[in-house]
Amino acid sequence: MSGLLGKKIGMTSIYDGNGKNIPVTVIEAGPCVVTQIRTLEKDGYEAIQLAFDEKKEKHTTNSLKGHFAKAGTTPKRILSEFTRFEQRKNFGDVLTVDVFIEGEFVDVSGVSKGKGFQGVVKRHHFGGIGQATHGQHNRLRAPGSLGASSYPSRVVKGLRMAGRMGGDKVKLINLQIVKIIPEKNLILVKGAVPGPKNGYLKIERWS
């Protein structure tokens, strides 16, 4: 897979040639710098490592400073590997939105928004109790019974319960690139993508 690293700018909508309003997510894709090249002889697989977004040198470890200096670039915030590019890449090469084509489909992965500790209605879409009948008090959004009778006399693992929600790695597949704005390194992807504004994303294409 080839692709780029990017940052979610926000959502808007645009009109296509038929006048249809399309919701899109604006992503700043690149520029990304090639900071490492994996080879079959040395690493057992072939890939290139891309780095994205500037980072202050005082917030960078010494080992990473040397890693970026080897590629002839300044410290970056995120690193990720891609396994397939049509043309050979070299240390220090800068990749931009030119790797994408309008109309093609990509996979976008990121970290979803953290929701904190949530109950079963929000976390697992429990229906709750529709009406407060038979003297029910303050039990409208409760999970209900958890037990499994005398056997196995315990709460079964994996039972849907309240707990921490969000902050997970999420990948959405087959999102169409509606428009590319090369002068600003922006791509407009149809629909929503994981994460908050300014959240980092990995955009992958299958060619």
Q: Is the pLDDT of residue 168 over 90?
A: yes
d(CA 109, CA 4): 11
pLDDT value at residue 133:
67
Structure confidence by residue, pLDDT tens digits, 151-166:
888 888 999 999 999 9
pLDDT value at residue 20:
93
pLDDT value at residue 165:
95
DSSP one-letter string for the chain: -EEEEEEEEEEEEEE-TTS-EEEEEEEEE--EEEEEEE-HHHHSS-EEEEEEEE--GGGS-HHHHHHHHHTT---EEEEEEE---SS---TT-EE-GGG--TT-EEEEEEEPPP-EEE-HHHHH-----SS--TT--S-TT--------TTT-SPPTT---SEEE---EEEEEEEEEEEEEGGGTEEEEES--SS-TT-EEEEEE--
Structure confidence by residue, pLDDT tens digits, 27-82:
999 799 999 888 888 888 888 999 998 889 899 899 988 988 888 888 999 999 98
pLDDT tier at 207, thresholds 50, 70, 90? low
Instruction: Tell me the mean pLDDT in the region 125-147.
Output: 80
Give the C-alpha distances (Å, rounded to integers) separating 97 from 48, 133, 144, 180: 17, 59, 51, 7
Average pLDDT, the chain: 89
pLDDT value at residue 187:
95
pLDDT tier at 136, thresholds 50, 70, 90? confident
Q: How many Cβ atoms sit within 10 Å of the Cβ of residue 78?
A: 16
Domains and CATH numbers, the chain: 1-114+180-207 (3.30.160.810)
Give the C-alpha distances (Å, rounded to integers) separating 141 from 126, 144, 164, 193: 8, 9, 17, 29
pLDDT value at residue 104:
93
Structure confidence by residue, pLDDT tens digits, 78-126:
999 988 776 777 777 888 998 899 999 999 999 999 999 999 999 999 9
pLDDT value at residue 160:
93
Q: What tokens does 12 get?
A: 């808007």
d(CA 188, CA 184): 12
pTM for the full predicted model: 0.83
